[in-house]
Amino acid sequence: MTAEANDPRLSIAAGGNASFRPLLEWLARRAEPVAIGLVAILIGLALFSLFILAIGKSPVTLFQLMYTGGFGSWFSIQNSLSRAAPLLLTALCVALPARLGLVIIGAEGAVVLGGVAAAASAMPFVGIVPPIVLFIFMGFAAMVVGGIWIGFAGFLRHYRGVNETISSLLLAYIAIALMNQFVEGLLRDPASLNKPSTKPLPKEYMLGQIPGMDVHWGLVIGVVACILSWVLIEITSFGFAARIAGGNVRAAQIQGLPVGKLIVGFTAIAGGFAGLAGMIEVAAVQGSANASLAAGYGYTGILVAFLARHNPLAIIPVAILLGGISASGGLIQRRMGLPDATVLVLQGTLFIVILFCETFYGRFKIFNPDLWKRSH
Amino acid sequence: MEDTGIGLWGVPLAIFAGAIRVSTPFIFVSLGETITERSGRINLGLEGTLVFGAMTAYAVAVMTGSPTLGVLAAMATGAMFGTIHGWICKWPKVNDIAIGIAMMQFGLGLAFFLGKSFIQPVAPKLPSIPLGGWSAVPQVQAALNINVLFFIGAALALFLWWAFKNTRIGLILRVVGDSTDAARAMGISPDRVRLLATAAGGSLAAIGGAYLSLFYPGSWNEGISSGQGLMAVALVIFARWNPIGCFLAALLFGGAGALGPALQSVGVTQGYYLFYAAPYVLTLIILIATSSPTRSLAGAPGALSLTK
């Protein structure tokens, strides 16, 4: 018996029923998160507009600037896409464990240590191996270190009963201290004076731009990671087992599923992706590991994952949207004289409203085919 | 080291002074979180509440010249944040841990937004009590210059420890925290109790913020909190939801946090940043040592999602 045979959606898609009802049911279930999500975003924007009105500025001007700064021109679109790249990976670090019912909020730790591991593993090989080999080294090192870091939180959760939210957060703070120690001490480039950094990568060893665009290859890596994660969760039996364990741990254990291995495996893969985000920051943006690695991508990734309802494919548009919002921060600051934290206020408002709107799931008959019969 | 006059004795003294100075925000945030968690809810948003409280206290103290008014204003905003958290979480299917993270982002954003213009002005500081008059050594005098909020926090810990056991309100809080159904059977509204407990927790966390901006380090900027609000959640677990335990754990955290700067002051500069991580490593080790995969933590409120 394969896992696929158990998935009711697949048997519907196979067309077992000749009527249109399966299609309608499928559409209704799919429409629910989209409709509720859009309404939540509209409520969030309305509340934020009230705040902007209260401090005496025009929300219309602000939203126009936000559009211009994020998506108004080819230049700003490319800027938004560049900012979306690390968010795709840090959001996966939250979304994958969430399928197992785990709330991991320490992606930042895997990002910074992934960056340090990438920089450290590159050092002995610069100038000896071709760039592509170096990138593979760096990516591998970053994924291993990030995977160990978040996987450890998963391990503690299953084998020691330590709450993963708290432990991943503590690990993030420990990771930042470790990064500072490495960058200030063992790995410090003596030439970096004011801003302690590792030895910078030569230009030809930087992860370049996607041909024809001013966006680095990190975007492609992030999108591929999202698609792979979707396949992992939705198609493989590994992902199916994880979804069962996320739904009910007891049931999964009774079925003989290796819950411990699933938890450690999923958190390790998740951490590997966040580590990869650190490698991209080093290889494509900073050119070295330094304190800028702790730029908050791990925390914004939490927001992206929750907005996307932990669906890896939905992460792609949401990350680009949030990348655009953060890219427009500078323009809002210059044109309207508002602090750069404006974007943070907007993000926080949206986040709260969207989580609040979870309460409306399953409350509307139109989205729930099981209730259709009773209405007639 | 001759010029300090006390040589290596400076290390334990600095750790002692640091424990007292650094622990005060931990005391308030963890006591607040204890009240909230005892009611069966967890508020991870206290980091945002703490920073917003720090900003409010500083801004009000700058504008009115009174640090006391600053603390009171911070308490009001903290209660407001707690009320929002409590109200949202009463709805079905809303995850209190995730809402906490969202409230944290919102609180931080709002504090940075509204506090931008208060980075420059200087606010009057909270008063402290010089207990070191008997000593001629300036380091000892400085170490014993203890803020009033530390004493208030210590008294509050004692009071809460007593109140949880001996008062009607304490009993109601514990019943709601242990079993929502039992509370309903007794005619208590769990939602209302949790709302008030979250509001009280937020209000106390904001005092911790006020201490940061009005006493130590004593200025308002965007990096004022280094995770004290979040650490408090771990600290409450460590202290087993016991207010006296919170007070002692806060002292321990404060001492661990002061280790790095203390060693640096006597010339130990190797591994400086690793000492920074000391409180976090300590918390993690304690969590690992005291947790168990098969049973929930001793002393944990039964309705708390965190430890199930």
The residue of chain A nearest to residue B296, with distances taken between CA atoms, is: A161
How close is the nearest chain A Cα to the Cα of B129, in Å? Answer: 33
Beta strands in B178-272 (DSSP E): none
Q: Is A198 helix (H, G, I), strand (E, B) or coil?
A: strand
CA B24 – CA B17 distance, rounded (Å)? 12
From chain A residues 248-307, the ones with a CB under 8 A of any chain B CB are 299, 302-303, 306
Alpha carbon distances (Å) from B111 to A265, B233, B308: 38, 21, 33
CA B232 – CA B234 distance, rounded (Å)? 5
* B74 touches B56 (CB < 8 A): yes
Total CB pairs under 8 A between chain A and B: 141
Could B274 and A181 be called an inter-chain contact, meaning their C-beta atoms sit closer than 8 Å? yes
Q: What is the dihedral of CA B77, B83, B86, B90, to 10 degrees?
A: -150
Out of A103, A158, A348, name the one closest to residue B109 (CB). A348
The residue of chain A nearest to residue B91, with distances taken between CA atoms, is: A359
The fraction of chain A above a pLDDT of 90, given in percent, is 61
Alpha carbon distances (Å) from A3 to A8, A233, A241, A244, A279: 11, 12, 8, 11, 35
Residue A162 contacts B where some CB pair is shorter than 8 Å: yes
Give the Cα-Cα-Cα angle B81, B229, B116 (nearest 5 degrees).
65
**Tokens of residue B300, six digits:** 């944990």
Is the bond preceding residue B127 a cis peptide, omega within 30 degrees? no
Contacts of A163 in chain B (CB under 8 A): 237, 287, 291, 306-307
Q: Which of A79, A112, A92 is nearest to A281 (CA)?
A: A112
- HEC string of A230-266 equals HHHHHCCHHHHHHHHHHHCHHHHHHCCCCHHHHHHHH
Residue A13 confidence (pLDDT) above 50: no
| pLDDT tens series, chain B, 308 aa | 344 456 677 788 888 888 888 899 999 999 999 999 999 999 989 999 999 999 999 999 999 999 999 999 999 999 999 999 999 999 998 988 889 989 999 999 999 999 998 888 888 888 888 887 777 777 777 778 889 999 999 999 999 999 999 999 999 999 999 999 999 999 999 999 999 999 999 999 999 999 999 998 888 988 888 788 888 887 888 888 999 999 999 998 888 877 777 777 777 777 778 887 888 888 889 888 888 777 667 778 888 876 55
**Tokens of residue A240, six digits:** 């199916």
What is the pTM (predicted TM-score) of this model?
A: 0.88
Could B277 and A174 be called an inter-chain contact, meaning their C-beta atoms sit closer than 8 Å? yes
Could B109 and A345 be called an inter-chain contact, meaning their C-beta atoms sit closer than 8 Å? yes
Contacts of B48 in chain A (CB under 8 A): 348
Out of B99, B113, B274, name the one closest to residue A177 (CB). B274
* A238 touches A304 (CB < 8 A): no
Q: What is the DSSP string of B119-134?
A: SSS-PPPPPEEE--TT
